[in-house]
Amino acid sequence: MKEHINKIKQMDIGKVIENVSLKEHTTYKVGGIASCFVYPTNTKKLIKLLKYIKQNKIKYKVLGNGSNTLFSDNTYEGVIIKLDRFDEIEVKDNIIVVGAGYNLMKLASFAMRKSLAGLEFASGIPGTVGGAVYMNAGAYKSDMGYIVKRVKVLTPDYRVITMTNRELDFHYRTSFFQKNPGYICLEATIGLTKGKKEELYKVNQERKKRRLETQPLEYPSAGSVFRNPEGLFAGKLIEDLGLKGLIRGGAQISNKHANFIINKGNAKASDIKELIEFTQEAVLDKYNIKLKVEQEFVNWE
C-alpha cells in the first residue's frame, strides 16, 4: 500500500495524509487506522484518483463527516476519499447550489440567515451535503428528498451527469446512491421557500432545546441507530424491553434515548456493534420485528 500512496502523492490530486485515525473522522469516535486520506481538489482530480484506485484494485471509501458510519477497529488498508474541497455554495432567489463536501448544519444556518425555509430539519444533523443525500437524512417529518431538486453525479464510468429528484429514488433513509454505490454525489441543487428570519430562528432554537433535553449530545454517537418500523418507534420498542443503560465495554444504550448508542469513553467499534446486534436480536425475539440499522458498517469483512 505504501507504494500506491507514494504514487498518489506524485499525481497531484490534492492533500494526502497517511496513517489516519478514524476515531478523529467519525462521530462515534471509534475505528482503526486508515492507510491514507486523500482530499481531491476538483472533479478532474477525483476522476484521476478513482481511475488509479480501480486499475490497481485498491479498496476505497468516500467519506463525509462519518456521522452514520461504523468502521471496525481493524486497519483500513485502502484509500479514504474526502470531498471537503467540494464546498462551493451559490444562492439565487430560493435556490441553493452547494458542493457535496459542505457541512449540512452550516448549510441550514446559511439558509436561515438568507430567510429561506425548508432546511430547519437539518440544523442538528452533523453530516455533509453529499452524505445527507446518500442517506436521505431527515428529522421532524422532513428529509432531503423534499428539498433536493437535482444532483450532479459522477458515474462509475467517470461521466458527470445530472439526476433529477425523481431519478434519485428518495425514500425513508434511503436513496439511489445506496443501491448504486459506484455513483458519487458531487453537488446538490436545493429548492427552498421564502420565510421570515425571526420565525426560522425561533424554530431552530426550540428544536435545539428539545434535542438537548431528549438526546445524549454530550457523548459521541451516530444519532439514531435504527430506522423506525412503519407506524412504530424503534426507541420505544427498545425502551419497553428494558435495554436502556445496557453496557458493552465502553459503549452504552443511552439512558436518555434508547435509539442512541453512545461512546461513554474509550469504546471499541466492536462494543458498539455488539450492542447493535444484541438489540436487533432482542427486538426480533420479542416483537418479531427486524430493526434496520441506519449506520453503515465498514471494514468488518
CB 137 within 8 Å of CB 104: yes
Per the structure, the complete domain to which residue 39 belongs is given by: 2-82
223 and 279 part of one domain = yes
Region 214-219 average pLDDT: 94
pLDDT tens profile 113-150:
999 999 999 998 999 999 999 999 998 889 999 999 99
Tens digits of per-residue pLDDT, 158-169?
Answer: 999 999 999 999
**The one catalytic residue among 173, 187, 221, 254:** 173
Residue at 63 is within a domain: yes
Is 221 in the active site? Answer: no
Q: Calculate mean pLDDT across residues 62-78.
A: 96
Q: Please tell me the predicted confidence (pLDDT) of residue 240.
A: 98
Residues 53 and 113 in one domain: no
Residue 243 has pLDDT above 90, yes or no: yes
Residue 76 lies in a domain: yes
Say what the pLDDT of residue 1 is: 93
Residue 301 has pLDDT above 90, yes or no: no
Domain boundary pick from 199, 223, 254: 199
Task: Give the number of domains in the chain.
Answer: 3
- Residue 27 resides in a domain: yes
Q: How many residues does the chain have?
A: 301
User: Does the active-site annotation cover 173?
Assistant: yes
Residue 210 lies in a domain: no
The angle, 0 to 180 degrees and rounded to 10, between the axes of the packed helices 197-214 and 104-113 is 150
Pick the last residue of a domain from 56, 82, 108: 82
User: Per-residue pLDDT tens for 78-127?
Assistant: 999 999 999 999 999 999 999 999 999 999 999 999 999 999 999 989 99
Does residue 190 share a domain with residue 107?
Answer: yes
Q: Which of 35, 150, 187, 294 is catalytic?
A: 294
CA atoms within 13 Å, Cβ hemisphere of 80: 27
Same domain, 93 and 195: yes
Residues 14 and 72 in one domain: yes
Helix ranges (DSSP H) in 114-165: 129-135, 144-147
In this prediction, residues 201-215 reach a mean pLDDT of 91
Q: Whole-angstrom Cα distance, residue 179 to residue 293?
A: 15
3-state helix, strand, coil in the chain (%, to 5): 35, 30, 40
Residue 42 backbone dihedrals phi, psi, to 5 degrees: -160, 180
Q: What is the CATH number of the domain that holds 240?
A: 3.90.78.10
119 found inside a domain: yes
Task: Give yes or no: 142 in active site.
Answer: no
d(CA 289, CA 188): 35
Residues 194 and 122 in one domain: yes
Residue 211 φ then ψ, to 5°: -60, -45
Q: Residues 32-42: what's their mean pLDDT? A: 98
pLDDT one-digit tens code per residue, 263-298: 999 999 999 999 999 999 999 999 999 999 999 999
- Asked if 55 and 87 count as a contact pair (C-beta separation under 8 A), the reply is no
Whether 55 and 121 map to the same domain: the answer is no
Nearest to 227 by CA among 272, 172, 180, 298: 172
Domain presence at residue 206: no
In angstroms, the CA 12 to CA 40 distance is 9
From the candidates 72, 224, 248, 254, which is the catalytic residue?
224
**How far apart are alpha carbons 27 and 65 in whole angstroms?**
8
- The verdict on 93 and 193 lying in the same domain is yes
Same domain, 73 and 114: no
* Among 199, 227, 259, residue at a domain's last position: 199
Average pLDDT, the chain: 96
Whether residue 50 is contained in a domain is answered as: yes
The CATH number of the domain where 191 resides is what?
A: 3.30.465.10
Per-residue pLDDT at 181: 87
pLDDT (0 to 100) of residue 219:
97
Residue range 48-74: average pLDDT?
97
- Let me know if residue 208 belongs to a domain: no
The answer on 234 and 219 residing in a single domain is yes
Whether residue 221 is found in the same domain as residue 162: no
CA 108 vs. chain centroid, Å, equals: 16
Overall pTM surpassing 0.85 (yes/no): yes
CATH number for the domain harbouring residue 20: 3.30.43.10
Same domain, 93 and 32: no
